[in-house]
Amino acid sequence: MAVLVDNDTKLCISGITGREGTFHSLNNRSYGTQVVSGVTPGKGGQDVEGIPVFDTFHAAVAETGANTAMIFVPPRFAADSILEAEDAGIELIVAITEGIPAHDELKVYNHLKRNPNVRLVGPNCPGILSPGKANVGIIPASFFSPGNVGVVSRSGTLTYQIGNELAQAGFGNSSIVGIGGDPVPGSSFIDIIELFEADPETELIVLSGEIGGDAEEQAADYIADHVTKPVVAYIAGFTAPPGKTMGHAGAIVSGSKGTAAAKAEALEAKGVRVGRTPTEVAEIAVETLRG
């Protein structure tokens, strides 16, 4: 078991013929992911190292049975590509693209919410890795092995840091889900924690958050009411000054709202242990798992 991506994933990549798109599509395939097709308007009929390319998502779904989409196109085309994937009946859309305008994300989010059969992860995320099963995105899979820790994070490299420290202590992962650093993520911490709670393979959940918004505070309430598995959290950005965007479009303290301190407090108030450093997060996780 794992969440979201596994041996049944049939991946179609929007933007497969671009340089980065090709590189990561092939990477995902060599990891063992079933990469069944790609979409680039105007390049239908071509192939990328044997992966057939279609002009539309609709054709790709009809011809190859794709159930998962990865979005790799530039920001100005990304919202449209997500909407096309949904319209074609794709169930899981993973948007890697960084830099999509926030108002486009609002429209996409509110439209997709009306379809109970579709889930968006991202945008501006590293994707999803279920070690030993499938890799959809840009997570460097070689650092991770199969195991029982589920990780959900707003940041890519920070996830690798925490995952690597867990790996050094001998613990692997059920799945690693990057929900992305934008103001309107398609999936929230809560959406992914709900999946980990239901996943029999996952024994502990790591939540890696950062400044901006109130997704961590909402997750704290949800965990208290609905989660039986232990959760260990990390929050980045204690030293971030208010009003400055710290790399991720969503990582901004607005006035007194969205601070790291408030998030850590909210989580601790609900009984979630918060590590002060990525190393401490791994230590707490290891201690909890060894019981």
Residues 6 or more apart whose CB falls under 8 angstroms from that of 130 comprise 2, 3, 4, 5, 6, 174, 175, 176
Confirm or reject binding of residue 18 to another protein (CB under 8 A): no
Among 17, 153, 173, 259, binds another protein (CB under 8 A): 153
Confirm or reject binding of residue 246 to another protein (CB under 8 A): yes
Confirm or reject binding of residue 115 to another protein (CB under 8 A): no
Among 1, 49, 115, 244, binds another protein (CB under 8 A): 244
Among 30, 110, 198, 226, binds another protein (CB under 8 A): 110
Q: Is 248 a catalytic residue?
A: yes
Choose the binding region for another protein from 31-39, 57-65, 87-95, 275-283 (rule: CB under 8 A).
275-283
Q: How many residues interact with another protein (rule CB under 8 A)?
A: 58
> Taking the complex as a whole, how short is the minimal distance between the CB of residue 286 and another protein, in angstroms?
16
Alpha-carbon dihedral sign for residues 186, 227, 3, 167: positive
Residue nearer to another protein on the CB measure, 7 or 254: 254
Confirm or reject binding of residue 183 to another protein (CB under 8 A): yes
Residue nearer to another protein on the CB measure, 18 or 44: 18
Where on the chain is the footprint of another protein (CB under 8 A)?
A: 75-76, 99-103, 106-107, 109-111, 126, 138-140, 143, 153-161, 164, 181, 183-184, 208, 210-214, 218, 234, 236-241, 243-251, 260, 276-279
